[in-house]
Structure 1
């Protein structure tokens, strides 16, 4: 196995085990076993479990953003861009439930605080925060703090993804579209 393959195997194993067992229920030895590498090999790529968790999240976030960027048109209206982001977010999460569970755990843990703080306080300029700022400046959405806007926009979407993964509902294209539109409507003044 090549070095990049080993590194990716470790990240994949960490993502799966943390999604299944949580951060504290996932020892490095378990990650090594799942990845098919020696425990010491992990430390060749990551200085600590915290560094591995951060690297795993960074990779998953980048993969999610890549899927959102597919078909994203800067020239579309703010509403059309939001609807695209919402649809792609839901599609990605229901197709890759382990990634969804890891990201949700990350955001709801001390690990996610710094990332959320940067985004919510405007220190991290990203596609979604910029879109919401543009929408707010145009008067298309409520003039609320960014954390409230994120909660109204994406909180329901994350919950329906989780309910789909748990088999409580079945998301099809029409239901996804209606739900994403409802989230947009919740933002409108």
Structure 2
């Protein structure tokens, strides 16, 4: 197995184990064993379980951001841009249930350091802050503190994805799809 293959095997195994067993119940030894690598190989790639968790969190957030921006090119109309971002984000969650389960468990967890969460929100998902800021400048979105608005958006996303993953047929229903965006949008409107 090549070095990059080993690293990916560690990440894939850690993802599955963190979701099924929890962060604290998952040992690095169990990750290495199930990934088919030596303990030393795991520690060569990640100095600690916390570092592994942070890397996994940021990598998956980047994957989500890439999917959103690839499928939701801005058109310049704020509400339509927001709707396209929303739909792309929920579609990604439905297509990646294990990764979304990881977010459901760890997005609000102390297992992820605050600075890592900030890096994800302000860096990787910075386009959301830019959209909110633009909407506030246009007077279309409430002028609440940006960090609070972003946390509200994140909570709405987690709630909606949980609903649609539990009820996958509802995402194919335009009424539910539109309602989910309307709830999201109306929570931010001025």
TM-score range, shorter chain: 0.7 to 0.9
In 1, Cα distance between the equivalents of 2:128 and 2:113? 17
Q: Deviations over 1:99-146 (max 9, x none)?
A: 1121233321221422344577x6888111111111111111111122
The answer for unaligned runs of 5 or more in structure 2 is none
Cα distance in 2 for residues equivalent to 1:123 and 1:168: 30
Deviations 1:140-183 (A, max 9, x none): 11111224323443423311322333459742251223211321
Report Cα offsets for 1:55-111 as digits up to 9, x if no partner: 111110110011001133233311111111111111111221111121233321221
Which stretches of structure 1, 4 residues or more, deviate above 4 A after TM superposition?
117-120, 122-125
Partner in structure 2 of residue 184 of structure 1: 185
CA contact (8 A) 1:19 1:101 kept: yes
Compared CA separation, residues 119 and 51, structure 1 to 2 (3 A):
closer
Q: RMSD in angstroms over aligned alpha carbons?
A: 2.4
Count residues with an aligned counterpart.
188
Return the alpha-carbon distance in structure 2 between the equivalents of residues 13 and 124 of structure 1.
24
Question: TM-score if structure 1 supplies the norm length?
Answer: 0.87
Q: CA deviation at 1:9?
A: 0.8
Distance in 2 between the 1:63 and 1:27 partners? Answer: 25
SS of residue paired to 2:32: helix
Residue of structure 2 equivalent to 1:4 = 4
Residue 6 of structure 1 deviates from its aligned partner by 0.7
Provide the C-alpha distance between the structure 2 equivalents of 1:165 and 1:73, rounded to a whole number of angstroms. Answer: 25
Structure 1, 166-175 or 26-35: larger mean CA deviation:
166-175
Alignment partner, residue 165 of structure 1: 165
Residue in 2 aligned with 1:128?
128
